[in-house]
């Protein structure tokens, strides 16, 4: 089986120690790396325990999420994602690379942003039994094997534009100095309009949205680190005109102000 991948980025609320939890993130094998970032699985048993809220920040990725009688393909979700975990359950997912689902869908990913479609909408009747086949396994390696076999059988030809988009998004993630669409376009040898068209088609959201979200991810990591932070300077470094605009966007996405988030993150560590 392929190796596990690093810690999840953008998790606001982790499940607490109460109850039983299992969380795995596993890289795909070489046959699917053009399309898939990783597989993931969350299993919980909170019977006899208080339900727990899990919250994560959005990423520019399409997911196939397998849950009993709820399996769907989800486009990029632009708000923070919240799920109340209660009782007993399991979710298994396929996280596609930015741009990696377009070769399967063959229409702009903006058409499914903040929405979902069925497996059959993309794969036809061949997907009718896939959910049952996945959950016939109790371990994540078996689930991955089923999903890998299915996606390998339906894999489209590699798309150079999808690879290009994945590389551009990776650059946004890794380079905190990237704070504007003009700069991103220039560094990647594209004009602004071409870059925007590519993102609408292959990602489903604008390059401005992707830049903004990852800079907010950076802010969250800094606030949670306990480092002394100059608020106005941080806002400017993240590409905001002033601190007020940064606080507004932060609160809209996170649900609390930067100061409140820092206090909560600090108390969780103590």
Both 117 and 42 in one domain: the answer is yes
Confidence of residue 1 (pLDDT cuts 50, 70, 90): very low
Give the tens place of pLDDT for each residue, 155-192.
999 999 999 999 999 999 999 899 999 999 999 999 99
Confidence of residue 211 (pLDDT cuts 50, 70, 90): very high
The pLDDT > 90 percentage for the chain reads 71
Q: Rounded to 10 degrees, what is the CA torsion of 113, 183, 38, 160?
A: 90
Both 143 and 50 in one domain: the answer is yes
Euclidean distance between the first and the last CA atom of the chain, given in angstroms as a whole number: 37
In a domain, 4, yes or no: no
Q: Classify burial at 86, counting beta carbons within 10 Å of its beta carbon; exposed 0-12, middle 13-18, buried 19 or more.
A: middle
The domain of 100 spans 11-153
Give the tens place of pLDDT for each residue, 113-128.
999 999 999 999 999 9
Both 128 and 25 in one domain: the answer is yes
Both 123 and 248 in one domain: the answer is no
Q: Classify burial at 137, counting beta carbons within 10 Å of its beta carbon; exposed 0-12, middle 13-18, buried 19 or more.
A: middle
Give the chain's domain count.
2
**Token duo for residue 196:** 């925007």
Both 85 and 186 in one domain: the answer is no
**pLDDT beyond 70 at 17:** no
The pTM assigned to this predicted structure is: 0.91
Whether 42 and 91 have beta carbons less than 8 Å apart is answered as: yes
The pLDDT > 70 percentage for the chain reads 92
Mean pLDDT of 134-159: 97
Both 194 and 149 in one domain: the answer is no
Mean pLDDT (the chain, rounded): 91
CATH number of the domain within which 176 lies: 1.10.10.60
Whole-number pLDDT of residue 87: 93
With a CB cutoff of 8 Å and minimum separation 6, the contacts of 267 are: none
Both 83 and 174 in one domain: the answer is no
Both 101 and 122 in one domain: the answer is yes
Nearest to 134 by CA among 96, 101, 94: 94
**Residue 118: which region, alpha, beta or left (left: phi > 0; alpha: psi -120 to 50)?**
beta
Domain boundary pick from 101, 122, 153: 153
């Amino acid at each position: 089986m392929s190796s596990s991948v690093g810690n999840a980025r953008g998790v606001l609320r982790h499940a607490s120690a109460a109850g039983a939890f299992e969380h795995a993130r596993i890289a795909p094998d070489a046959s699917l790396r053009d399309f898939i970032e990783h597989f993931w699985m969350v299993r919980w048993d909170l019977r006899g325990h208080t339900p727990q809220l899990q919250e994560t920040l959005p990423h520019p990725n399409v997911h196939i999420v397998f849950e009993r009688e709820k399996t769907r393909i989800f486009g990029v979700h632009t708000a923070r994602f919240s799920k109340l975990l209660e009782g007993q359950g399991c979710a298994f997912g396929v996280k596609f690379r930015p741009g990696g689902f377009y070769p399967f869908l063959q229409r702009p990913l903006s058409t499914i942003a903040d929405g979902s479609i069925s497996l059959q909408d993309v794969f036809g009747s061949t997907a009718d039994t896939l959910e049952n086949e996945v959950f016939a396994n109790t371990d994540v390696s078996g689930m991955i094997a089923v999903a890998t076999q299915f996606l390998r059988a339906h894999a489209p030809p590699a798309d150079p534009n999808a690879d290009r988009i994945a590389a551009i998004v990776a650059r946004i993630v890794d380079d905190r100095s990237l704070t504007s669409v003009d700069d991103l376009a220039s560094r990647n040898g594209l004009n602004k309009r071409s870059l925007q068209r590519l993102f609408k088609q292959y990602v489903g959201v604008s390059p401005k949205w992707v830049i903004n979200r990852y800079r907010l991810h950076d802010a969250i990591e800094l606030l949670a680190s306990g480092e002394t932070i100059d608020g106005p300077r941080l806002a400017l470094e993240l590409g905001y005109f002033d601190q007020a605009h940064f606080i507004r966007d932060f609160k809209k996405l996170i649900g609390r102000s930067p100061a409140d988030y820092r206090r909560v993150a600090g108390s969780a560590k103590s």
